[in-house]
Structure formats: C-alpha cells, structure tokens
Amino acid sequence: MLHTNNSSLPLCGINPGASYGSAKRWYPQEFAKVARELSGEYDVIIFGGPGETDIAGDIEQVLIDSSVKNYKNLAGYTTITELINKISSLDLFITGDSGPMHVASAFQVPTVAIFGPTKDKETSQWMNKKSIIVKKNLDCQPCMKRTCPLQHHDCMNLIKTIDVLKAINSVN
C-alpha cells in the first residue's frame, strides 16, 4: 500500500471511482497510464472508497508492473476527514465526476475532471479557476444514465490518456 519515500516531488491524486454508476467511470487502465506518465514529475496518491479498492488495485498493479514506486494506494483506507485533508494538500487532481472532485474545488486544487454521461455544466467544479473538463461532445451526451443505454460507452471509451495529459498541461 505505501510505496513513497520522503520525496520533494509535488503530489498528484488519482480518483477513479464514481458512486452514481459505472457509466461515470473512466477506465482503470487509462487512469493507470496517466499515473505512470506523471510518476516522473509527481508522487501519486490513488484515492477511493471501500467499494473502489478493486479499481484502485488495478491501477496499482500497472504501476507495480511499470516499476513505479512513488505512489500510495489509499483506496478504502481514509476517513472523510482524512480524504479532505489529503485532497487539500494536492498539487494536481485527476478525477471523474465525483464528490472528491468538489472537495478539490473547495481548496482550489488544479483539477482535470473526466466527464461522460452527466451534465458537466450542472455538476462540474464550482468556482475552481484551476479546473478543466475532459469530455467528448457526442450526440448521446449527456444521457444521465447509470449504465450506457447504447451499450458502447463511447463518452468514456473515446477519452484516451493523451487527452488527459494535454488537459494537465493546460491546467498547470
């Protein structure tokens, strides 16, 4: 679980979960690719609730397989207060449309938020000038469904690692 040393690198949080439904979740392998790419510039913290430890574990396994050692997997290990404190200390946060995204907004943490089926104009970070939304503008968006009614999940499927990395460059 704990693999960081006392590094002076900035901190990047990865938050792959979303409690509304699977349609709101970007893919763990894509989050993992982003984390791997950023591990040279940032120490990485993986966040998630008790029901998201599998997703976080998938991301962690990619980091292990890639010999990345400067990360912590905190999924399932933080209280709400600890989560808020950890997010408030981040230098960058990569997340789906989620509660922790709003916590990051309250602390003005530079954030890349990945949106699929939900209405980003209504549920995106409020008042965070250091936030950017990554989404595809498809005809089927926003469907507001918990699972993709068209069974292709293109609103998330078409978002790739490079899209998020480009967004990170524009938010920093």
Cβ atoms of 56 and 77 closer than 8 Å? no
Round to whole Å and give the CA distance between 9 and 70.
Answer: 9
Q: What is the pTM of this model?
A: 0.90
Residue 145 has a pLDDT of 80
pLDDT tens track for 103-139: 999 999 999 999 887 877 777 777 788 899 999 988 8
Residue 42 has a pLDDT of 97
For the chain, what percent of residues have pLDDT higher than 70? 92
Domains with residue ranges and CATH for the chain: 11-171 (3.40.50.2000)
Which tokens hold the place of 42? 């940032």
Residue 143 has a pLDDT of 82
pLDDT tens track for 150-168: 888 888 889 999 999 999 9
pLDDT tens track for 26-52: 888 999 999 999 999 999 999 999 989
Round to whole Å and give the CA distance between 114 and 48.
Answer: 16
Q: What average pLDDT does range 56-77 have in this prediction?
A: 95
Round to whole Å and give the CA distance between 55 and 61.
Answer: 10
Round to whole Å and give the CA distance between 160 and 11.
Answer: 22
